[in-house]
Structure formats: C-alpha cells, structure tokens
Amino acid sequence: MAEHRLSLAVNGRERQLHNKLITFETPRTTSVTSNENGQHAASGSVAIVGLGYVGLPTAVELNGKSQRIIGIDINAQRLTDIAAGDADLTGPDQERQERLAAALADGTPGLTTEAAAAAVIICVPAPVVIGGATPACTSPAAEVIGRVTDSAAVRPDVPADGLAGGRPPMRPGPVRAAERRGRASLPSRARGCPESASTARSNGRCAGSGGEGMNGITDVAIVGAGPYGLSVAAHLRGSGVSVRQFGLPMHLWRSSMPSGMFLKSQGFASNLSDPEAALTLGAFCRATRRPYADYGLPVPLDTFIAYGEWFQVTAGLDVEEVLVTKVAPGDGCYQLTLADGEVLQARQVVLAVGVEHFAYLPGKLSGLPATACTHSSAHTDLSVFRGQRVLVVGAGQSALESAALLHESGAGVQVVMRESKVVWDGAPLPPERPLLQRLREPEAGLGSGWSTWFYSRRPGMFRHLPESTRVHRARTALGPAGASWLRGRVEDEFPILVGHALDGAESGPDGVRLGLIGRSGARTGLAADHVIAATGYRADIRRLTFLDEELRSRLRTVGGTPVVGRDYRSTAAGLYVVGPGVAPTFGPVMRFVYGADHAARTVARRLSATAGRRPDVAAGWWD
C-alpha cells in the first residue's frame, strides 16, 4: 500500500503518520496523546479524525470490527449533534444512521476532541467536487475501508503496505476496483503542507512541501506513477533536485489488467529501478515470503502490484494521487494544472505515462457500442462473462490469456486471429548453459537471441538505426506470441479460428455478429454476446490531451510519438518523455518494465546535472 509520511506535533513531540492506515510510531511506554496523563493506545483501537461526510460513515462501518472506535472532531458542537442523533446521514447512508443510533445506545464508539489510539484514519477535509461536497460520492469510500478492515483486524504491528508475516495484500477484487474508482477524486496534498488547498493555490506553492524551491517553482514535475515514473523518482531522490510527482500509483496494472493474470516477462526482467539496484522484485518477494525465481516462474499480477507499492514506500517516494489535467509552457517554465484545481510551476517535466492512453481498436469494431465490444484493457474481472458467448480478437499474449481466463471462468470463448497459426515463445533457457550455447543464443530481458539481446541491452544504439527501421521494429518485434507457460491452458481447451481478418461487425438485441474473411477470400460470420478486442496499443502523442495544443505543436514526432534525444529530451525545452511513448526511438524495450532502468538512470543523470537551471521553454530547443 502506498505510504506518505506526514509530520504531526503532539505536545511538543513529533510523531510520524501514514496517510492510508495511519499508525502512530511511538515507544511502547509512550502515550500517543500525552506523556502526563498516562493514557495509552489500546491494541485494535481506531481513531477517526474528522466526523464529516467521510469520517462518520467510516466510523460506523468500522464499528464492531475493532476493539474500540474513537470519533474525533475539533468542533465540539458537531460531537454534541452526533450524540443527539443529528448526524446528517441521509440518502444512501440512512441505514448507517440506524446503525449509529444503535451503537450510541450501547455506548460502543467514543466521541471526543482528544484521545489515544493504536491507529488513526484522517478524514479531513471531505472530497470536494464542482458545486460543493457531495455526501453520496463518499459512501463507497466508507464501504471500502470497512470491507478491507473486515478481512483483517486492525493491528499496530501491521505495516502500511498490508504485508505482515508473508501474507498477501488484503485487497479482495471488488475492494480493489472500488479503490481505483475513488482514487481519481482524492485531493492533492504535498508533504507536510499546513495550508488548505485554496490557500496553496493562491500562493502558487505549498509551504514546507519539500517539492519546491524557495521561489515556489519545482525543479522537476513527474507526470505518471507507474514503473517508469516511480523509477525516475527513485533516482532523483537525494539528488538535490526538488520533485513533485503526480498520478495514481500502478494505475494501469490495477485498472486495465484482469485478475488472475501473470506477467509475460521473467522475474529478473520485472524490476523497477533504484540507484543501488537493491529494491528488486526478488528482494520484495524474499521480504514478504512470496514465491520467486529469476527464470521460469511467472509473476502474478497481484504480486507485481504489491511490489510497486512496496517500492514506492521503501524508496520513500511522495506521490500526490491527483491527475494532471494540463501541461502548458509558461514564462521560462511549465505550468501544470491538477484535477483538484491547483496550478503549479516546474522548470522541467518528465512524462512517464503508460499505454492506457493508447488502447487500439480496429476500425471494423470502433462503431460497436460498449455493450457489444470492449478493449481488453477495460476488464479487471473476466468472471462477469460466465455463461456468455465471447469472441476474443487477437493473436498475442493478451488475447490468449484473456481467452484462458474467460474459459476458466465459465464463459463460452472463441479466439479469432488473422495470423495463420498461434505462435508460442520457447521455454526459458537454462541460465547455466555451456558457453558456446550462450554465445549462439544469449538470454536477455526480453527473451533469447541476438536481436532480442540488442533490443534489451542497447537502446542507446537502437536510436541510431534508420527511422523507418526503428518504427517498424518498435511495433512488430517480439510478437504476437503467447508465453510458454500459458500453452497448456489454451491448446485443445477452446476453439481458435486462424487466418481470418475482420470484414465487418454489427450488434443487435441478440448480441453481436462479426463478418470474417479468410485467406482464400471466403466469407463467414460468428455470433456472440460480446467481443473483446485484445488488439494492443498504438502510441500517439495526439491522444495525450492534457498536453497544451501549443506544446504539442512544438514536438517533432516519429511514428506518432515524440522525437527524443539521447537523454530522452524532446524538442520542447525541458520536457522529457520515457516509456512506451518513445519506443520508436529507443526500441521495443520501452514497451516493457525492463526498459525503466535505462530511462530512469539516463533522465535522472541529466536532470541532476541541470538542477536549478532555467530552460528556454518559450523558444524550445533540442540536441
């Protein structure tokens, strides 16, 4: 679970807080609230700070799931009103109103302006949307916290990442999905900022945030919090560069991939990057007692998501979980607008966005409604298709694994591909092969063979290939093909129609029908309840709509993606791009986690060397 440390002064003593499950780090014999009155936090007690639209429903949800619930509010009148039954829990929270009344009747929760607790959940301020606070939108948040807590008693010895004694993260599928839906509306807060959001916006900065210089301008803003964004931030930490990072950590992996999925990459090729190369997937799995092998053992999706969270926490990265809605050139710097309304300035910007912006749907399918056809990235739980007829269009890992998961969930599935046969990757080669075999077919991060070794290990040389070669290989290398470990779950399990291209599609009350044309020119058709297009992603700078139109016009492109130099600088001064968006420059490795190390080290080295300089954003430059 993501962790951000905040500083809180309690009777002159500084305490550390976490903003997820917020536990006080205090000596065993020291009171949380006071050193003089002898109070001690009871094991399993939970304090809810702020009894507004989020806090009060949360307190009701947690009631009965821990030893004691303490409601805390600085407004004594608010506490009096709640105790009198005037709790403002209406509409969708009416049932909670009744449960609160019952709890107050038997004296279960405590209501106070000061107390000691083993754990604290801060619920101030309430989320704000256009038009003011909306009680209905916070009801799911209370349900999520209640359901997660229901699966594991709140204990002061459970670390913030939810991994104790080797147990997996306490995130059932529906809860994880609800978390994702609620995250986008979370307000942005820089570390240790005492000001309200409105005050911060009016000042143009957040005092004491650690993410801005003395003049209120951040050296580097990182847009994105996936493997590439987290890796760049890890390399910049401690460099003397002021950094603010925005995004929803590991969002693509949470919201666009199905439960039960495995990574195609080997374990050693699935590391995020830090300066010491210490925060590896293997280190995480050893620390949490999860199965791991450099070769031959597929990495579960849930393990990789938990690893990303652990990496963020262990590296001490402060990610502000708010989306960037606009990046525009300003006066010698960039101006970023956030979804919560804050506007900030940054001398340099790193775009570390993933492929979620670039989902590709063939033209023949684009006219179908979402009830009839969706991209494979739209699904996190394929069991919803149990008992339905589903056609999967595609020939790569996404298509084959989605079909396997659908079949195993009870759906009637069929795969349709234009390729003449299904291609399977070979099994991983033994690491301790004789030298001659290793020279003939070297193993690398993206697979085996000399061409794959080149893509994996020499992205800096790849950029010197002819432009047409780079564009073609960035798109076609390494696929489409299925992983060797998936083969037994696909072959002879469900029908696969090869050698057929889409010729048309139409939907109606009875489902959807695809028109197909074979290699001989013969036409046929297939009917289903739903079509899933596992047709991949195609990077296109025009789809990054948060980039100001004037800024986009300054970007030279290759294959629809930004042209970047040897250190990932684009043709717009001070704007860097890493990840899938620069695959036509640095090669197919940028489509994989394995490319994060080269990108992060290169960009961080450049940004550290130029800290405090003012790029000529107005004019634009590149080398």
pLDDT in tens, 264-313: 999 999 999 999 999 999 999 999 999 999 999 999 999 999 999 999 99
Average pLDDT over residues 422-444: 88
The mean predicted confidence, pLDDT, of the chain is: 78
Average pLDDT over residues 45-64: 76
The DSSP letter of residue 227 is H
CA 85 to chain centre: 40
Average pLDDT over residues 171-187: 32
On the question of pLDDT at 34 being above 70, the answer is no
On the question of pLDDT at 147 being above 80, the answer is no
On the question of pLDDT at 15 being above 50, the answer is no
User: For 10-24, 106-120, 450-464, 528-542, which range has the lowest pLDDT when averaged over its residues?
Assistant: 10-24
CB of 204 closer than 8 Å to CB of 345: yes
User: For 129-143, 386-400, 505-519, which range has the lowest pLDDT when averaged over its residues?
Assistant: 129-143
Query: Can you give the pLDDT at residue 183?
Result: 34
The DSSP letter of residue 600 is H
pLDDT-based confidence at 613, cuts 50/70/90? Answer: low
Average pLDDT over residues 411-422: 96
On the question of pLDDT at 570 being above 70, the answer is yes
Alpha carbons within 13 A on the beta-carbon side of 507: 15
pLDDT-based confidence at 107, cuts 50/70/90? Answer: low
pLDDT in tens, 513-534: 999 999 999 999 999 999 999 9
Query: Can you give the pLDDT at residue 40?
Result: 41
Quick check: helix, strand or coil at residue 324? strand
pLDDT in tens, 459-487: 999 999 999 999 999 988 888 999 999 99
On the question of pLDDT at 176 being above 60, the answer is no
Please, which residues have CB within 8 angstroms of residue 319's CB and are 6 or more apart in sequence?
A: 2, 4, 225, 230, 233, 245, 246, 247, 249, 312
pLDDT in tens, 578-597: 999 999 999 999 999 999 99
CATH class of 5-159: alpha beta
pLDDT-based confidence at 80, cuts 50/70/90? Answer: confident
On the question of pLDDT at 430 being above 90, the answer is no
Average pLDDT over residues 247-257: 95
CB of 16 closer than 8 Å to CB of 120: no
Query: Can you give the pLDDT at residue 12?
Result: 31
Quick check: helix, strand or coil at residue 389? strand
Q: What is the DSSP string of 83-146?
A: HTT-----GGGHHHHHHHHHHHHTT-SEEESS---SEEEE--SPP-BTTB--HHHHHHHHHHHH
Please give the radius of gyration of the chain, using alpha carbons only, rounded to the nearest integer.
Answer: 26
pLDDT over 70, % of the chain: 70
Q: From start to end of 134-184, where are the E strands?
A: none
pLDDT-based confidence at 223, cuts 50/70/90? Answer: very high
Per-domain boundaries in the chain: 5-159, 197-357+539-609, 360-423+480-533
Average pLDDT over residues 51-73: 72
Amino acid identity at 456: S
Question: In terms of DSSP H, where are the helices of 280-417?
Answer: 281-287, 301-314, 363-366, 397-408
Please, which residues have CB within 8 angstroms of residue 504's CB and are 6 or more apart in sequence?
A: 364, 514, 515
Q: Which CATH number fits domain 197-357+539-609: 3.50.50.60, 3.40.50.300, 3.40.640.10, 1.10.3720.10?
A: 3.50.50.60
CA dihedral 46, 51, 52, 56 (to 10 degrees): 60
pLDDT in tens, 543-554: 999 999 999 999
List the structure tokens of 345.
């300035």
List the structure tokens of 281.
């997937």
On the question of pLDDT at 181 being above 90, the answer is no
Q: How many CB atoms lie within 10 A of CB 287?
A: 13
pLDDT in tens, 317-332: 999 999 999 999 988 8
What whole-number distance in Å separates Cα of residue 281 and Cα of residue 301?
12
Query: Can you give the pLDDT at residue 597?
Result: 97
**CA 402, 403, 404, 406 torsion: positive or negative?**
positive
444 φ, ψ to 5°?
A: -140, -175
Query: Can you give the pLDDT at residue 159?
Result: 30
What whole-number distance in Å separates Cα of residue 477 and Cα of residue 473?
5
The DSSP letter of residue 342 is -
List the structure tokens of 165.
């004694």
What whole-number distance in Å separates Cα of residue 390 and Cα of residue 286?
39
Query: Can you give the pLDDT at residue 595?
Result: 96
Name the residue with higher pLDDT: 238 or 389: 389
378 φ, ψ to 5°?
A: -80, -5
Cis amide bond preceding 480, omega within 30 = yes
Name the residue with higher pLDDT: 373 or 12: 373
Q: Tell me: domain 360-423+480-533, CATH 3.50.50.60, correct?
A: yes
| Closest CA relative to residue 414, chosen from 263, 521, 506, 530 | 530
CB of 185 closer than 8 Å to CB of 133: no
On the question of pLDDT at 496 being above 70, the answer is yes
Do the domains 360-423+480-533 and 197-357+539-609 match in fold? Answer: yes
Q: How many CB atoms lie within 10 A of CB 567?
A: 17
